[in-house]
Amino acid sequence: MPHDTSRLIAEHIESLYGRPRAELEAHADSTSHPNMLSALLAAHAAVEFAERDLDFQLQRLRQLTHPEREVSRYTAGHLHDCARRIGEAVAVRDTQAQHVTAVLQSLHRAPAVETTPAATVAPPVPAAPATAATPARTR
């Protein structure tokens, strides 16, 4: 199931850096030191993971609550565990999304550097002629 939260974050990151996410991830992986891009991509990955976990737990909850399935005391424990994990996944997703969105809103794409025609360079000024005047030697 597609989630708007991670999709919107990915679109904002792509818009900010002006490149597709796959290229940005490759670039972030190729650098040896952490930077803002790698932090944004890591936060986005945490949101995506929470959304996948949420999907998995919802699917598991639907299996456990299927109308043809008998609910035993073991099933009740699984239901409780599933509900707890859904709550955790939602909390992680919302917290990560809130923080990464705040960071993204504080960042703006830098304007493209305009290439202006090279300033006209004045021709070099000729050096003043050296004077041959040397003091006269007296003996």
Structure confidence at residue 104 (pLDDT): 92
Measure the CA dihedral 7/13/17/19, to 10°.
-20
pLDDT at 33: 83
Question: What's at 129, amino acid-wise?
Answer: P
pLDDT, mean of residues 110-131: 59
Per-residue confidence band for 97, with pLDDT thresholds at 50, 70 and 90: very high
pLDDT per residue over 42-88, tens digit each?
999 999 999 999 999 999 999 999 988 888 888 889 999 999 999 99
User: Given this model, what pLDDT does residue 30 score?
Assistant: 87
The larger pLDDT score, comparing residue 127 to residue 63, is at 63
Q: What pLDDT score was predicted for residue 34?
A: 84
Q: Angle at CA 78, nearest 5°, toward 65 and 55?
A: 65
Residues 25, 42: Cα–Cα separation, whole Å: 10
**pTM higher than the cut 0.75:** no
How many degrees, rounded to 5, is the angle at CA 122 between CA 118 and CA 126?
A: 150
pLDDT score for 13: 93
Q: What is the mean pLDDT of the chain?
A: 84
pLDDT number for residue 7? 93
> Which token pair is 102?
């705040």
DSSP 17-85: HTS-HHHHHHHHHH-SS--HHHHHHHHHHHHHHHHHHHHHHHHHHHHHT-TTS---HHHHHHHHHHHHH
- As a whole number of angstroms, the distance between CA 136 and CA 119 comes to 48
- How big is the CA angle at 92 (ends 27 and 34), to the nearest 5 degrees? 25
pLDDT in the model for residue 126: 59
